[in-house]
Structure 1
Amino acid sequence: MDYEKYVARKFFIGLLLLLFTILVSLYSLSQGSYSLSFWEVLDALRGKGSENALLVIWKVRMPRIVAGLLVGSSLAVAGAVMQGFLRNPLASPFTMGVSHGAMFGASLAILLGAGYSTSSGKVFLNNPYLVVLFAFIGAITAVGVILFLAGLKGLSPEAIILAGVAMSSLFTALTTFVQYLANELQLAAMVYWSFGDLGRATWRENAIMLAVFIPVFVYFVIKGWDLNASASGDEVAKSVGVEVERVRLVSTFLAALITAVGVAFVGVIGFVGLIAPHTMRLIAGGDYRFLIPLSALTGALLLVTADTVARLIVAPMVLPVGVVMSFLGAPVFLYLLIRMEGRRG
């Protein structure tokens, strides 16, 4: 009976998160330079209403919101998995160098002639898919080097985190070097790409992100028991039959993969992988069988909400969602550092 209540509570939290995500998404669909009422949004979703409303909903706002749901879920799940297998509350795609590797790859592509143009005072990339490809390669390279060292030298979870910090620093330095070599327009294009912007995603990009996310998410849900055992220590995990090193390397790579795909398409968005899992740990506990799906819902809700705020806070200007997330994430990061030091003391 107690276990049934335990499970029912998790499902109730999940339903609440799903409801809030739907409500925020509907609100986001109605807001912007072309305002729509709640009923106009519902009509447009059913394929009815005015031509303008259908165009705004299905061509502009819906792809943006779907991208927010997918990228937010991916970053949150990746953060939860990394924190579990590496047993470090500060582990996340952002702190493991994935985002920094993507930024270097995108900057290098622009320097090599990916193409850029200016219109109405804004910078646009003429060949965004080349930038996306280089960003993806950079992101995967960052975590690939870490996993290679981990497999070769048998690095501990703590050492893997430190290797991530080192890779972040290395790719930041490489990005700075590339920016130093760039001309003014190239530099503007690099800065433009670095701002996380969900508006870049179209239905094609969303389909690719969904195709990568679903199998990885299912794998992590299946591995929930392994995560629970690994969070208690390698000895405990091995005692119940978990192949710790192999599962840790595979899971870290898959977490980096879903992060790399999202970041490559929409740019650098930090701290979702920190905030979402820790919020759910405080509310629902640390059972990874439930923490992973609840973190996915929380990340989706968090990023769509942040993007809505970014679009409305200085309207008609649209702030990059990465800026809003940094404002939210920096205090949380400092809180976690203080909390860790307090425990050591």
Structure 2
Amino acid sequence: MNSGRFRWERNKTDPAYYRKHVRSLVFLLFLAALLVMSVLVSLWAGSYDTPTDQLILGIFGLAEDEKINIVVRNVRLPRICTAVIAGAGLGVTGCILQAVLHNPLASASTLGVSQGAGFGAAFAIMILGIQAAGSGSFTISACAFAGSMAVALVILGLSRFCRITPETMVLAGVSISAMFSGATTLLQYFADETQLATLLFWTFGDLGGTGWDEIRKMTLTVALATFWFLLHRWDFNALLSGREIAASLGINIRRLVLVNMLICCYTASSIISKIGLVSFIGLIAPHMVRMVVGNNHIYLIPGSVLAGASLLLFGDLLSRILLSPVVLPIGAITSFLGAPLFLYLLFKGRTKTC
């Protein structure tokens, strides 16, 4: 029997553990309800004023006004689904990166994985001349994955051979992010008007450019990755006790870290290749959940999925209503929301070590 599972069987009769178990379940239900409410509010918000009952009917194409059906099914609903799936994927990858790297500040954006994926996508568009639509979407995703993996390999190499601290790892990620951001800027400088308009997509981020086919592919990727992470939830819990203890329990640490880093990079790059650079969701979501449920990945993984989806959907809602009818770039909104928390976590960790 897995050691983490054994400890749960041993402690489930403890009243304190039982209360924490109930509190975690209630919090997950709260996050699910919050996500449903966010979806309804996002469905209602917009320049096209529509009664709520007609909006619900519009999801199924049954609204009395055909314009409502078109607006809901072709504009608002795809945008909402994109925000939910992308936020869920970024949230859960941030949770797993923090677990396998043993770094509370790890996420796709803080480690430079997002910027590497963005550069790979920009390289495909600018240098290879790939179009963002149609069959070129696979090539862009492949280049985005290659860029993210290049960053991941550097991070793994630094953590394994140089024995750098978690804070230094984040600073290395910031340096890598700056390098790839500069390379992307150079590509933009030499791009023509058509390529420049496409490349700016990666800088701003956009949730309104995905079709149902892209949403289905992104949903499949996020669902399979989340299922894999849930299957290995006990391994992530064992890592909390240290790599030596986890290894003594029969866990192959090197394989666990490498495989999950690959899955995280592929999931994040597939999302970024569809919506552009969206920062800090993977950093904020796990920490919000961790403050309530602790480090138990039985609850932390699904909680990060729900929190990430709600956060990105809330950010998209702000981007649409702050200066309506102008839609602000979602990347800027998430950066404004996430940067203060990043500073808080960084200085909180430094205070503990002083």
- TM-score w.r.t. structure 2 length? 0.87
Alignment of 1:86-97 (within 5 A): 86-97=101-112
Letter in 2 for 1:268: L
Identity among equivalent pairs (%)? 35
Letter in 2 for 1:252: M
Give 2:291's match in structure 1, choosing from 277, 282, 299. 282
Matched, 1:17 2:26: no
The whole-number CA distance in structure 2 between the counterparts of 1:152 and 1:79 is: 19
Displacement, 1:39?
1.3
Task: Verify the 8 A CA contact 2:92 2:305 in the aligned structure 1.
Answer: yes
4+ residue runs of structure 1 moved beyond 6 angstroms?
none
Q: Tell me what 1:32 maps to.
A: 46
Give 2:118's match in structure 1, choosing from 86, 95, 103. 103
Matched, 1:53 2:68: yes
The whole-number CA distance in structure 2 between the counterparts of 1:81 and 1:104 is: 23
Letter in 1 for 2:82: A
Give 2:79's match in structure 1, choosing from 57, 60, 64. 64
Q: Tell me what 2:58 maps to.
A: 44
Cα RMSD, aligned residues only: 2.4
Number of residue pairs matched? 336
Matched, 1:304 2:313: yes
Letter in 2 for 1:73: A
Give deviations 1:127-183, integer Å, cap 9, x for gaps. Answer: 476366335423433324633884799445748656644543332232232223224
Q: Tell me what 2:219 maps to.
A: 210
Q: Tell me what 2:281 maps to.
A: 272
The whole-number CA distance in structure 1 between the counterparts of 2:87 and 2:50 is: 25
Give 1:236's match in structure 2, choosing from 245, 256, 268. 245
Q: Secondary structure at the match of 2:43?
A: helix
Give unpaired runs (5+ residues) of structure 2: 1-12
Alignment of 1:113-192 (within 5 A): 114=129, 127=133, 130=136, 133-134=139-140, 136-144=142-150, 146-147=152-153, 150=156, 154-155=160-161, 156=163, 158=165, 164-192=173-201
The whole-number CA distance in structure 2 between the counterparts of 1:149 and 1:85 is: 12
Task: Verify the 8 A CA contact 1:102 1:260 in the aligned structure 2.
Answer: yes
The whole-number CA distance in structure 2 between the counterparts of 1:238 and 1:246 is: 11
The whole-number CA distance in structure 1 between the counterparts of 2:343 and 2:20 is: 31
The whole-number CA distance in structure 2 between the counterparts of 1:153 and 1:314 is: 44
Q: Go from structure 1 to structure 2 and tell me whether the alpha carbon gap of 1:154 and 1:327 turns closer, same or farther (over 3 Å shift).
A: closer
The whole-number CA distance in structure 2 between the counterparts of 1:33 and 1:97 is: 36
- TM-score w.r.t. structure 1 length? 0.89
Displacement, 1:12?
1.0
Displacement, 1:5?
3.2
Give deviations 1:1-59, integer Å, cap 9, x for gaps. Answer: 43443322222111111111111101111111112222111222344212111111111
The whole-number CA distance in structure 1 between the counterparts of 2:200 and 2:306 is: 30
The whole-number CA distance in structure 2 between the counterparts of 1:48 and 1:164 is: 49
Q: Secondary structure at the match of 1:32?
A: coil
Displacement, 1:94?
0.8
Q: Go from structure 1 to structure 2 and tell me whether the alpha carbon gap of 1:98 and 1:59 turns closer, same or farther (over 3 Å shift).
A: same
